[in-house]
Amino acid sequence: MTYVMFLFLLGLVLGLVAVASNPSPYFAALGLVVVAGMGCGMLLYHGGLFLSLVLFLIYLGGMLVVFAYSAALAAEPFPKTWGSRSVMLYATLYVVVVGVIASTLWGGWYEASWVPAQELGDFSVFRGDMGGVALMYSSGGGILIMTAWALLLTLLVVLELTRGLSRGSLRAV
């Protein structure tokens, strides 16, 4: 299972390099979705089944808003892709920097620290993330409603900002 965790971490780093090296918002949004998937896979591996699912769905909803906003502001007819020379130069530079940092910090990482939470509690009755879900809905109900309201308000603000001189996405056809 250590190899699975290694693949999740490698996908996370490569997704971050894809986001950081790409000037076009179209391809950077795809890289962010890959990063979110790999991060939620790491949470899933460590025992956060429900948390990773909720985080991935909320993150994809937020990415939809960010992608709509950035695509409306940066409408390029020919965006730079990952195969462009400047993008590949930045990606190579970022991979080299990550490699240098990883080689200097290599001695402090051990495979034993990647033990998932499910292997430690074989005789446990409760899962760790289910207790957090119960607390979120019982004690944190007001905060949950305020967060949903803030996300709705953010969506409306982004739609209003991208409207421009025409009616934008809220116009009557």
Distance CA 28, CA 18 (A): 7
**pLDDT tens digits, the chain, 173 residues: what are they?**
678 888 998 899 988 888 888 777 777 777 888 888 898 888 888 777 777 888 888 877 777 777 777 677 766 667 777 778 888 898 899 999 988 988 888 776 665 556 555 555 555 555 656 666 677 677 777 887 888 899 889 888 877 776 665 655 555 54
Query: Domain check: are 103 and 149 in the same one?
Result: no
Q: How many domains does the chain have?
A: 2
Residue 22: CB atoms within 10 Å:
23
Same domain for 109 and 43: yes
Please give the pLDDT value at position 96. 94
The predicted structure's pLDDT at residue 93:
93
- Statement to judge: residues 20 and 94 lie in one domain: yes
**Inside any domain, residue 132:** no
pLDDT for 173 equals 46
Phi-psi region of 134 (alpha: psi -120 to 50; beta: other; left: phi over 0): alpha
What residue numbers bound the domain in which 50 lies? Answer: 2-126
Q: Cα 70 vs. chain centroid, distance in angstroms?
A: 16
